[in-house]
Amino acid sequence: MSITDVTQTSKINHFVEFNASGLAGGVYLYRIQAGNYAETRRLLLQK
């Protein structure tokens, strides 16, 4: 997985695009960290 673009659109919302073409469908965990903030979430990838 590679992250190709991170765009800040406001102080609250951020969008991240990544290429999932090399990944199989399934449930993945991703982690976002910024300063003192950290959160782990699930991503369901359907192919």
The yes-or-no verdict on residue 46 having pLDDT over 60 is yes
User: How do residues 2-15 score in pLDDT, each as one tens digit?
Assistant: 455 566 555 677 77
Instruction: Quote the domain boundaries for residue 26.
Output: 2-45
Residue 1 has pLDDT above 70, yes or no: no
- Whole-angstrom Cα distance, residue 1 to residue 13? 22
Confidence of residue 16 (pLDDT cuts 50, 70, 90): confident
Total number of domains in the chain: 1
**What is the rounded distance in angstroms from the CA atom of residue 44 to the CA atom of residue 20?**
11
Task: Look up residue 8 and give its two tokens.
Answer: 């800040």
Residue with the bigger pLDDT between 44 and 37: it is: 44
User: What is the average pLDDT across 13-38?
Assistant: 87
